Amino acid sequence: MLMRIRPRASTLLMAVVAVLTAVPSWSFGATFVPRIVNGLMTGAYPSTGALLMYDDTAATSLSGLCSGALIGCHTFLTAAHCVCPDNVSDAASCKSFGLTDPATLRVFLQDGGFFTVSRVDINPDYNFAVSGDVAIITLSDAVTGVAPTQINQARRLDRGAPGTIVGFGTTSAARHVPDDAGLKRQGTVLTATCPSDLPGDTQICWNFSGSASNTCEGDSGGPLFADLGAGPVLAGITSGGNSQDCLAPDVGFDSDVFVNRAWIVATTGSDLGSASCGLPAIGSAATAAVATTGQVSSTSPRASSQFEVPAGTRVLRVALNGQLGSTLGLSNATDFDLYVRAGSAASTAAYDCADTNSSPFGFCEIQSPQAGTWHVLVNRAQGDGTFQLTATTYSDNTPTTCAGDCNGDASVTIDEILDGVRILLGDSDLGACPILDTNGDGQVSVDEILAAVSSLLNGCSAT
Same domain? 443 vs 294: no
Contact call for residues 170 and 220 (beta carbons, < 8 A): no
Asked if the structure places residue 169 within a domain, the reply is yes
Same domain as 318, residue 239: no
CATH of the domain at 406: 1.10.1330
d(CA 261, CA 387): 35
Cis amide bond preceding 46, omega within 30? no
Count Cα atoms within 13 angstroms, Cβ side, for 29.
Answer: 8
With contact defined as beta carbons under 8 Å apart, do 227 and 233 qualify?
yes
Q: In this structure, are 29 and 177 located in the same domain?
A: yes
Judgement on whether residues 210 and 143 belong to the same structural domain of the protein: yes
Give the C-alpha separation, 370 to 155, whole Å: 48
State how many domains the chain has: 3
120 and 229 part of one domain: yes
Does residue 92 lie in a domain region?
A: yes
pTM of the entire predicted model:
0.82
Contact 139, 431 (CB under 8 A): no
Report the candidate in 240, 258, 249 with the shortest Cα–Cα distance to residue 198.
240
- Tell which residue, 35, 68, 36, has the closest CA to residue 51: 68
Tell me, yes or no, whether 78 and 89 share the same domain.
yes
Q: The CATH number of the domain where 236 resides is what?
A: 2.40.10.120
**What is the chain's pLDDT, residue by residue, as a tens digit (463 residues)?**
222 232 212 233 333 333 333 332 222 235 676 654 457 889 999 999 999 999 999 999 999 999 999 999 999 999 999 999 988 999 999 999 999 999 999 999 999 999 999 999 999 999 999 999 999 999 999 999 999 999 999 999 999 999 999 999 998 887 667 789 999 999 999 999 999 999 999 999 999 998 889 999 899 999 999 999 989 999 999 999 998 888 899 999 999 999 999 999 999 999 997 776 889 999 999 999 999 999 999 999 999 999 999 999 999 999 999 999 987 654 579 999 999 999 999 999 999 999 999 999 999 999 999 999 999 999 999 999 999 999 999 997 544 457 788 766 677 888 888 888 988 888 877 767 877 877 666 688 888 888 889 888 887 753 3
Among 230, 245, 233, 235, which Cα is nearest to 205's? 235
Position 18 scores a pLDDT of 34
What are the strands, taking DSSP E only, across 74-184? 75-78, 105-109, 113-122, 135-139, 162-167
The CB-side HSE value for 40 (13 A sphere, CA atoms) comes to: 9
Q: What is the CATH number of the domain that holds 304?
A: 2.60.120.380
Give me the domain span that covers residue 300.
287-395
Cα–Cα distance for residue pair 25/6, rounded to 1 Å = 18
User: CB of 75 within 8 A of CB of 265?
Assistant: no
Would you say 70 and 76 are in contact if contact means Cβ atoms under 8 Å apart? yes
Which pLDDT score is estimated for 210? 85
User: Does residue 366 share a domain with residue 315?
Assistant: yes
- Domain assignment present for residue 1? The answer is no
Strand partners, 48: 69
Query: Are 189 and 295 in the same domain?
Result: no
Show which of 236, 271, 306 is a domain's final residue: 271
**Neighbouring C-beta atoms of residue 229, cutoff 10 Å:** 7
Residues 310 and 224 in one domain: no
- Asked if 435 and 319 sit in the same domain, the reply is no
